[in-house]
């Protein structure tokens, strides 16, 4: 399928361009922290509960909190109805997201506790694990849970032989490779890296750099959304 024409992608983007990203902070009253992210045609809600006593008890860690990220796709989020409930894919994404976020949250401050982060995919258009992690980080910051930094995330990939940033659905479906990545921006430490497809070593190096650059741009958008929400609270007081 022709995904690149005259140096432009199907939606008119250049190779290193992100889709439009909009982040709203603190959108849910009952959660301790929350964020809603629109990223291209993706729509994702993240909600944080805790730190709270961990149940069941046998999952407690007396040295630190356990962060559980629960990634869920709504039945109406994809073209073919998604059967409700967990499947192999959502269990995998929950696991890698929990691990990525555990690198930044200061878990040792809350022994025996659970921090639950719910990521609800309301509309999916490729890259939802990156969108979910982005939303989850902002929701954790909104909850005021101590963190060393946020996690910023973005995928790159190969489409019609070109390395491009932030694949949308058509590019994900008909492209050659997808490389989701998440990073702790201040340390430039990678906390998630997956690859679906094939790349040569040189292509990998380029795609890796492109995904890091993209994640750094996402980081700025995350910070701006948080700053805006803090300023709005001050004005409202
Ligand atoms: O969303 P992400 O790219 O992180 O994960 P993926 O497994 O590579 O899925 C790519 C896209 O396929 C998703 O964003 C959805 O748009 C779509 N998908 C779907 O249509 N039905 C599913 N059961 C799972 C994914």
Say yes or no: CB of residue 88 within 6 Å of ligand 1: no
Q: How far is the CA of 233 from the centre of ligand 1 (A)?
A: 36
> Could you tell me the distance, in angstroms and rounded to a whole number, from the CA of residue 77 to the centre of ligand 1?
10
- Which has more confidence, 234 or 152? 152
* Residue boundaries of the structural domains of the chain: 10-236
Which tens digits make up the pLDDT trace of 18-66? 999 999 999 999 999 999 999 999 999 999 999 999 999 999 999 999 9
CA 237 to ligand 1 centroid distance, Å: 42
pLDDT of residue 180: 98
For 10-236, CATH gives 3.30.230.70
| Predicted local distance difference test score (pLDDT) of residue 235 | 60
More confident residue, 231 or 135: 135
Please determine, for residue 74, whether its predicted confidence score (pLDDT) is greater than 70. yes
Q: Which phi and psi angles does 197 have, rounded to 5°?
A: 125, -165
Of all protein residues, the one whose alpha carbon is nearest to atom 12 of ligand 1 is 126
Q: What is the pLDDT of residue 36?
A: 98
pLDDT tens, position by position, 108-164:
999 999 999 999 999 999 999 999 999 999 999 999 999 999 999 999 999 999 999
Element (H, E) at 178: strand 177-184
Residue 125 has which token pair?
Answer: 């258009």
Atom of ligand 1 nearest to the CA of 132: 4
Distance 151 CA to ligand 1 centre (A): 21
Give me the pLDDT at residue 236, please.
Answer: 55
Question: Is pLDDT at 234 greater than 90 in this prediction?
Answer: no
Beta strand 66-73 with 113-123: parallel, antiparallel or unpaired?
parallel
- The protein residue whose alpha carbon is closest to atom 1 in ligand 1 is 128
Q: What is the mean pLDDT of residues 179-204?
A: 97
Chain center to CA of 74 = 16
Over the chain, what is the mean pLDDT?
97
Residues 132 and 48: their CA atoms lie apart, in Å, by 12
Q: What is the pLDDT of residue 237?
A: 53
Percent of the chain predicted with pLDDT > 70: 98
Task: Report the nearest atom of ligand 1 relative to the CA of 128.
Answer: 1
Q: Which pLDDT does position 93 carry in this prediction?
A: 98
Beta-carbon-side half-sphere exposure of residue 197 (alpha carbons within 13 Å):
23
Asked whether residue 199 carries a pLDDT value surpassing 90, the answer given is yes
Alpha-carbon distance values, 157 to 179, 190, 229 (Å): 5, 17, 33
Ligand 1 pocket test, pick from 126, 180, 181, 193 with the greatest ligand atom count within 8 Å of Cβ, gives 126
Question: Which residue minimizes the CA distance to atom 24 of ligand 1?
Answer: 78
Residues 74-102 have a mean pLDDT of 98
Atom 6 in ligand 1: which residue has the minimum CA distance? 126
Instruction: Kindly calculate the radius of gyration of the chain based on its CA atoms and give it in whole angstroms.
Output: 18
Say how far apart CA 209 and CA 221 lie, in whole Å: 19
CA 150 to CA 209: how far, in whole Å? 19
Q: Is 203 in the pocket of ligand 1 (CB under 6 A)?
A: no
- Residue with CA nearest ligand 1 atom 11: 126
Q: Which pLDDT value is given to residue 232?
A: 83
Query: Exposure pattern of 90-115 as b/e (b: 16+ CB <10 Å)?
Result: beebbebbbebbbbbbebeebebbbb
Instruction: Say how far apart CA 10 and CA 41 lie, in whole Å.
Output: 14
Q: What is the mean pLDDT of residues 62-71?
A: 98
């Amino acid at each position: 399928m022709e995904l690149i024409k005259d140096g432009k992608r199907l939606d008119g983007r250049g190779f290193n361009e992100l889709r439009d990203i909009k982040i709203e902070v603190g959108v849910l009253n009952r959660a301790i922290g929350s964020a809603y992210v629109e990223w291209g045609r993706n729509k994702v809600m993240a909600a944080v509960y805790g730190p709270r006593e961990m149940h069941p008890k046998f999952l407690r860690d007396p040295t630190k909190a356990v962060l559980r990220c629960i990634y869920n796709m709504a039945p109406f989020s994809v073209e073919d109805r998604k059967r409700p409930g967990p499947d192999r894919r959502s269990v995998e994404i929950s696991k890698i997201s929990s691990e990525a976020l555990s690198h930044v949250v200061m878990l040792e401050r809350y022994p025996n506790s659970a921090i639950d982060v719910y990521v609800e995919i309301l509309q999916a258009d490729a890259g939802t694990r990156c969108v979910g992690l982005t939303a989850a980080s902002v929701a954790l910051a909104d909850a005021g849970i101590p963190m060393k930094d946020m996690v910023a995330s973005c995928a790159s990939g190969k489409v019609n032989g070109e390395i491009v940033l932030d694949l949308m659905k058509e590019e994900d479906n008909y492209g050659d490779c997808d490389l989701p990545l998440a990073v702790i921006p201040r340390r430039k430490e990678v906390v998630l890296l997956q690859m679906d497809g094939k790349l040569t070593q040189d292509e990998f190096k380029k795609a890796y750099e492109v995904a890091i650059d993209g994640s750094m741009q996402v980081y700025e958008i995350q910070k701006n959304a948080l700053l805006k929400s803090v300023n709005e609270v001050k004005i409202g007081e």
